[in-house]
Amino acid sequence: MSQRRLFKLHKIVILAFLFGGTLFSPTTYAQGLLISEGDRLPRTRIFPPRPRPIPTLVVDSSQIYAIKEIAVDGKLTDQIAEVNVSQTFTNTTNRTIETSFVFPLPYNGAIDQMTLLVNGKEYPAKLLDAKTARSDYEKIVRANRDPALLEWIGTGMFRTSVFPIPAGESRTVTIRYTQLLRSEHGVTDYIFPLATAKYTSKPLEKISITLNIESHDELKNVYSPTHGVQVKRSSEKRAVVKYEESNTVPRSDFRLLFDTKNGEISSRILSYRPKTDEDGYFLLMSSPKITSEKNKPIAKTVVFVLDCSGSMSGKKIEQARESLKFVLDKLNEGDKFNIVAFNSSVNTYEQNLIEYNGKTKQESADFCDGVRATGGTNIHDALKTALAMIQDKERPSYLIFLTDGQPTSGITDESKIVANATDSNGNKTRMFVFGVGNDVNSRLLDKLARGNFGVSDYVLPEENIEEKVGNLYSRISEPVLTGAKWSILRESDGNRNVTNQVYPAGELDLFAGEQMIIVGRYSKTGAVGATLIGTVDGDEKTFTFDGEFVEKSGDSRFSFIERLWAVRRIGEIIDQLDLKGDNKELAEELVRLSTQHGILTPMTSFLADDSTDLRATTDNVIRARELSREQLGIVVGSNATSSRAMKNSMQNAQFADASVARQELAIHENVMQPLPSAQINSLGGGYGGGSYPRGGRMRMTASSPTTSQIPAASQSRSSFANNDAKINSSQLMGRVQQLGNQTFYFRNNQWEDPSVTAEQRKKVQVVKQFSDEYFALVKKHGKELTQFLVLDEPVLFNFKGQTYLFEM
C-alpha cells in the first residue's frame, strides 16, 4: 500500500466493521468510514525508497488516526444476528476534524435496526438507497482521489450527522444492529470486516470477538475459514465462539460458518469452480456426535515414550514429567496404558499394558517422579518396546513420543529406525511425535510420524512442553469414530472417480467436540453423495450425506476453498520433496502454485524479488529445486526445525486468508527463524481440528488458537546469489498482494497479474485513474472490477478477455 493513502484529505477510515453475513467476497463489503466535512487536509505523497519501490504501510505519527481497540459482541440465533461493536480511535492531527460516519449496507433488507453512539451520545443517521449512495460514493472517490472507496459503489448506506473530533482526542464509537444472515446449502454465513483496520497508524492494542450462537436444532459444524477461533459448546444447541489478538494489524475480514441438524453427525459439502475448463475445489466439513452404546467414552490405549537422556536434564525433564502426569490424570476408567522411559537403555513402568484406575494412576505418577535425565538416546529400542505392547486391534491406540536429541545408542541409522518402527506397528497405532528444541533430527521424526499414522510437532526452546502435550491430549482424549474413510460418488451415474488431490488423505479418527475439514478437487459436477464409514466400539458404522459439485461458480463467496487447498497442497509437495527427495514434476507444480497464489516458502521466496521473471518457468523451477535440496538437506538445527514446522503448518492449515497474508513471520539474516507458538495453527486447525490423518502432520499452539499459520517466505544464502540486496520479511510481504482471489506482484513500479503474457501486454488497454472512462468501467462491472482497483499504484491485469492497465 502506498504511503500516499496515509495522508488523505477528507477520509479517516476507522472501520465500522459492520454487517457480517454477506456471502460475497469477504474483502469487499460493509466496511465503515469517517468522512471529514471540514476544509481539506494537505495532500502529501511520499514515495517508497528507490531503486526498489516496495509499497508498505508505514507506522507514523503524522497519520491522521489510530485505532486502539475493537470489541465485537454478538448473538446469532439461527439466521438473526444481534451485534454490538465498540471501537476506540484517536485523531492524531493537530486540528479538529468535523466528520460524519458512513457505513455501507451489504444488501437490501439486511438491517432491521441500527443505533450509532459516539462517546455514549446517539447520532441520527439516514438511509440512502443504492442509486443515491452511488452518487455519494463517487463524489468522495473523485474528491479524495482514493480508489479504496470504490469497493462500496453499488450498495446502499447509512450516513450520520456531523460531529467533531478534537485534535489529539479519542472517541469511542458504538454500533448496535440487527441483521438477517444469509444461508446457502444449509450453512449460515457471518462476516465481520476487519480488513480496513490495516489503515490504522499503529497496531491495534486488542481485537476481541465473542459470538454466542443459539439454534432451535442441534448445532453441528462451527468453522472459521479466516481465523483461529475457540469454540466452546455448552449444550447441543449452543456454542460460544471467541477470537482475540493483541498488538496486531488485521489483514483479512473475520468470517464464521455454521450449520444445524438433528442427528449423530452433520456433514456439509461446499464447492467452488471459477473456470469450467479446470477441476473445481470442494470443502467437506463434518462434526460428530457419535456416542457409544455403552454411554461412556470409547476405551483406548495410550503409551507414553519419554526421552530421559542427559540432554533432557534441567527444565526439560521437569516439564516432560509434568506433561506425562497431565496425560495420566486425564485417562478414563477402562483405558490401558504404560510408560517407556529411555536413555541408553529402556525402562518401563510395567512389563505389559495395565488398566487405568486410582491405584495405577498413583503408582505411575510415582514412576514419573523417579525419572532422571542421564545417558544416551536409544530411540530404536524404545519405540520397538512400546509398539510390541500394543496387541488389541479392537480399541484405538496412541503412542506419544517425546525426544530432544538424535539417536546415539543402539541402532542409529535413520532408515533402519523408521523401517523397524513401521514393521512393529501392525495395529496401526497412531504415533504423535514431539521434537524438543533444535537438536533433534527433524526429518527422522517426520518420517516416524508419517510412517505410523500420526503427526509431528516441535517444541521450540522458548515453549513449554507440558502445554504442548496437554493441548494435544485434551483433543484426542475421546475418540468417537476411528479408522474413518470418506468416499464421494456422482448420483447421476454412480461414478466414484470424481475427486482428486484430497487432503487429508487416508483413514481418519474423529474426536469428541472437534470437527473435520477436508479439501480437494473434483472433475465431475452435479449432485453427489458422500459416505463415511468408521468404527465405534469395534462395530462398523456408515453415514451418508448429499451435496453438490457446482459446474460454474457465479461469484467468489467460496473462493477461500481454492486458497485453502493450495496451502495444503504446497505443504504436501514440500513434505514429499523432504521425505522422498528431489522430483522435477513436484518442483514444477510447487512453482506454478506459488506463483499463482502468492504463497511464498523458503523454496520459492525468490518469486517476490522484482528481478525474477515470473514467466521464466524453467529457470524458476531450477532455482526452486536448488533451494529445496539445500533447505531440506539440513536435518538438525534451527533451520531444519523451522523448515519442517513450516511444511507441517501448511499441511494442517484450517484457514488460508489470514495465514497467507502474514508471511512476514520468519525471515531474519538469511536464516529461517522458529515460529512462536502463538503464531502457529492450533491443533484444532490441523487437518480439520479433531481429526488426524493416517500419516499427517500437526502444528499447535500452547495457548488459545490465533491467526496465522504459514511461515514466511524465507531465503537461503543462495536464493539471491546474484543479488546483493538483503530482503527482509516486510519487504517480501510488500511485493505480493492478494486482491479477491487474484495474486499481484510488484514489478516495474506497478502491480502485475502474473498471468499476463508478453503478447497481451502489446494489446493492453490503458485507463487513467479517476477519468470518465475509469468510472464508466466501474459502473459497468461493479465489484467484479473494483476489487482490483483499491491500490494507489498502477495495476496491470486480465479481466473478462481484456488486458487493462489502470495507471495514475
Q: Predicted confidence band at 578 (pLDDT cuts at 50, 70, 90)?
A: very high
Q: Which of 105-109, 145-149, 427-431 has the highest mean pLDDT?
A: 427-431
Measured CA to CA in angstroms, residue 363 lies from 77, 357, 370, 386, 399 at distances of 49, 10, 11, 19, 20
Rounded to an integer, the average pLDDT of 128-142 is 75
Rounded to an integer, the average pLDDT of 452-472 is 88
What mean pLDDT value characterizes the chain? Answer: 78
Q: Out of 18-22, 350-354, 445-449, 544-548, pick the least confident.
A: 18-22
**pLDDT of 65:** 58
Q: Predicted confidence band at 589 (pLDDT cuts at 50, 70, 90)?
A: very high
Q: Which of 180-184, 689-693, 723-727 has the highest mean pLDDT?
A: 180-184
* pTM (2 d.p.): 0.81
Q: How many CA atoms lie within 13 A of 150 on its CB side?
A: 26
**Three-state DSSP class for residue 112:** strand
CA distance 773 to 505: 50
Residue, of 512 and 280, whose pLDDT is higher: 280
**pLDDT of 101:** 67
Contacts of 7 (CB under 8 A, 6+ apart): 41, 42, 43, 44, 45, 46, 62, 63, 64
Percent of the chain with pLDDT over 90: 43
Residue, of 505 and 198, whose pLDDT is higher: 505
Q: Out of 67-71, 398-402, 749-753, pick the least confident.
A: 67-71
Ranges assigned E (strand) in 626-713: 667-668, 671-672, 692-693
Q: Out of 134-148, 259-273, 397-411, 512-526, pick the least confident.
A: 134-148
Q: Predicted confidence band at 696 (pLDDT cuts at 50, 70, 90)?
A: very low
Residue 9 pLDDT > 50, yes or no? no
- Helices 315-330 and 465-476, packing angle to 10 deg: 20
**pLDDT of 668:** 30
Residue 388 pLDDT > 60, yes or no? yes
**pLDDT of 174:** 80
Residue 315 pLDDT > 80, yes or no? yes
**pLDDT of 728:** 52
Q: Out of 118-132, 401-415, 760-774, 793-807, pick the least confident.
A: 118-132
